[in-house]
Amino acid sequence: MDVEAYIRARKKVRAPLLMTHVVCGYPSFEDNMKELEIMAQYGVDFVELQFPFSEPSADGPLFVKANQESIDHGTRVAQCFEFMARVTERFDFKVLMMGYYNTAFKMGHEAFIKRLKAAGACGYILPDLPIEEAKELHALSEEAGLFPVILMTPTNTDERLEKLGAVAKGMVYAVARKGVTGSKTEMSNEVATFLERCRKHTDLPLGVGFGVSNREDLDFIAANADIAIIGTAALKAWESDREKALDAFFTGLGLTKS
């Protein structure tokens, strides 16, 4: 089943779907697996596995810290691929690689796509790679049955949104506000209007991220999009009291454990 079909099938069971995020190797791969076990119990639909990078330009302070500490602990790209393979073999949710283009560039496009495919990923998010410079990588991805997650942002013109929508596959990541991850976003008429703009330029499912953190946010996204993308809020919970706090966080979202 391709990703778009997977999303539409899952939406018949619940809305919105849920995408979560962990930084590989932070605080450790053992911690990552414990986080993912809880996420799986609450039925998350997608997980981004972030390959740590020294200059994560789309990330806020907490994820910048997490990336740097993972690197300082010695996390390497090969370990992230190995961990991804373990995750996709163990869990039913779909897995995306999240990272920065330098990883794909240094490996070479063919090797990057081959490793992702072998590790069981369904796609990847490289927020610093413009679509104009991604044609070769996107072509290789399509051949391998992987999809690049295209980001649409509030600062994009309608002309730019049209270009982004034309190359998008599987789903689109709608960035709820300007800036980087981490800060709370007020889900308002302004965000709803932006999502309407996105809808004019793509028929693909929309995920909404940056600042999603509570049940009210999920209700808003259910009414206006398809997938709630949660990163910082879940990591904050883990850092506050590990399994206990992360479990309480998902319960607070109105989710039930399977």
Give 79-136 pLDDT, tens digit per residue. 999 999 999 999 999 999 999 999 999 999 999 999 999 999 999 999 999 999 999 9
Residue 48 known to be catalytic: yes
- The arithmetic mean of pLDDT across residues 180-190, rounded, is 61
Q: Among residues 35, 45, 48, 217, which one is catalytic?
A: 48
Instruction: Specify whether the CB–CB gap between 171 and 226 falls below 8 A.
Output: yes
CA 150, 24, 179: angle at the middle one, nearest 5? 45
What SS3 class is residue 22? strand
pLDDT for position 111 = 98
C-alpha 62 chain-centroid distance: 16
pTM for the predicted model, two decimal places: 0.93
Burial group, residue 155, by CB count within 10 angstroms (0-12, 13-18, 19+): exposed
d(C-alpha 227, C-alpha 94), whole Å = 13
Predicted confidence (pLDDT) at residue 181 exceeds the cutoff of 50 = no
C-alpha 19 chain-centroid distance: 6
Residue 158 known to be catalytic: no
d(C-alpha 232, C-alpha 251), whole Å = 17
pLDDT for position 121 = 98
d(C-alpha 96, C-alpha 121), whole Å = 6
Q: Among residues 59, 143, 162, 219, which one is catalytic?
A: 59
Write the pLDDT tens digit of every residue in 197-251: 999 999 999 999 988 999 999 999 999 999 999 999 999 999 999 999 999 999 9
Under the banding of pLDDT at 50, 70 and 90, the label for residue 52 is very high
Under the banding of pLDDT at 50, 70 and 90, the label for residue 189 is confident
- Angle, helices 77-90 vs 109-119, to 10°: value is 30
Domain at 3-247: CATH architecture: Alpha-Beta Barrel (3.20)
d(C-alpha 57, C-alpha 15), whole Å = 30
pLDDT for position 149 = 97
DSSP 97: E
pLDDT for position 164 = 98
* Closest-CA residue to 194 (of 172, 174, 164): 174
pLDDT for position 58 = 60
Domain boundaries defined on the chain: 3-247
d(C-alpha 113, C-alpha 130), whole Å = 18
